[in-house]
Structure 1
Amino acid sequence: MTEQDLETLIHWFESEKLTYYYEENQPQNILIKKYKDKIKGNSRVIGFILMIDNIEIGYMQIYPISTNIKKELNYNNSERIYGIDQFIAEPINWGKGYGTTFIRLMIKFLSLEYNTDRVLLDVRKDNIRAIKSYKKCGFEYKIDKDDKYIYMEHICSSTD
């Protein structure tokens, strides 16, 4: 991800259909600072623009899960657990399998590059389309996060 991608991200975050599921409802100046920090490496979060045929279609980010969340979810603190967040931006690209493909690629990347034991994500309980995609990628329900969200996890293996 580069600074040139910020304009695209900001445009995507103006969509109510997207931000219903990917809650990024902050003023533009805060969003720009947040994502510039990721681009410059001043964040534990690494962001990626997702592309098909050189067309930007979405966003994904990875980050190590904090000790506090590991403790909250009863994980061993020595486990290498990464979180992922992602979206396919435009509804015209929803339901085409792009998200599933990118998630599978990211699981493989995390397994190979970071020797990750688990991948964790949270998803709105009513985002049935995303939950189906995550299940196709080997994610299983872990626990309710709150009234709106659940945690799902993928246990990494040598076949990822």
Structure 2
Amino acid sequence: MMLFQHGNLRVRKLEKKDNYLLAKWLSDPTILEFYEGRDNCFDLDKVNKVFYASEDNEVKCIVEFDGIEIGYFQFYRIDDETKKEYGYLDENIYGTDQFIGEVEYWNKGIGTLLVTSMVKFLIEHKKADRVVMDPQTRNTRAIKCYEKCGFKKVRILPKHEHHEGKYQDCWLIEYHK
């Protein structure tokens, strides 16, 4: 089921047949450097357990460009506990995670197109007041993309994400309509 389309970019809900794509992407050290960790490789079995068996509130999607599956995107409503941790009040706040799994599509503006399209979708269709992300502070390429899309750094989340054997600092960044 298609969620939204913007020009050559299309985002659709994750289907069972996409498990091989996730296993391919999440076993690539280049992708794992910032997403999941190079010490946390996924095979088909792990993909099925993590992405298909969970009963969480994430909407999981595949990103296509020119009809080719190139990445993953998920969004979710931020729960009250996380809102409190981040210092937000009773707003409708969504979080997202995404990656372009086909490295040859990096540095072509597709990430910027994806993030701006996703923000527009969440504001228009989910009535989001804010969209937040928490990239690792060392992920400068992604942070530049997010800032280009209108996200602002709010504050550092110290030792927020366990990644490759140690806790990494992350930026809390937000898009506020």
Q: TM-score, normalised by structure 2?
A: 0.81
Q: Does 1:154 align with 2:175?
A: yes
Per the alignment, in what secondary structure is the counterpart of residue 125 of structure 1? coil
2:151 aligned partner = 139
State the partner residue of 2:101.
89
Asked if the contact 1:95/1:129 (under 8 Å) is kept, the reply is no
User: Normalising to structure 1: TM-score of the pair?
Assistant: 0.89
In structure 2, C-alpha distance between the alignment counterparts of 1:88 and 1:62, rounded to whole Å: 15
Instruction: Name stretches of at least 5 consecutive residues in structure 1 with no aligned partner.
Output: none
Aligned to 1:126: 138
Aligned pair partner of 1:15 in 23, 28, 36: 28
CA deviations 1:103-137 (Å, max 9, x no partner) are 11111110111110000001121211111110011
Q: What one-letter code is carried by the residue in structure 1 that aligns with 2:97?
A: D
Residues 43-95 of structure 1: CA distance to partner in whole angstroms, max 9, x if unpaired? Answer: 2000111101110111100001121111011100x200000000011221111
The reply to whether residue 33 of structure 1 matches residue 46 of structure 2 is: no
1:30 and 1:146 map into 2 onto residues whose CA distance is 29
CA RMSD of aligned residues (A): 1.5
Q: CA deviation at 1:36?
A: 1.0
Q: What's 1:3 paired with?
A: 16
Asked if the contact 1:99–1:133 (Cα under 8 Å) also holds between the matched residues in 2, the reply is yes
Whose strand proportion is higher, 1 or 2? 2
SS at match of 1:14: coil
- Check the 8 A contact 1:62/1:83 in 2, yes or no: yes
Structure 2: give runs of 5+ residues left out of the alignment: 1-13, 160-167
Partner of 1:64: 77
1:37/1:43 contact within 8 Å kept: no
Identity %: 36
**Residue 48 to residue 112, structure 1, CA distance change in 2 (3 Å):** same
Instruction: Provide the C-alpha distance between the structure 2 equivalents of 1:89 and 1:27, rounded to a whole number of angstroms.
Output: 13
Q: Where does structure 1 differ by over 3 angstroms across 4 or more consecutive aligned residues?
A: none
User: For the residues of structure 2 that align with 1:45 and 1:26, how far apart are their CA atoms?
Assistant: 21
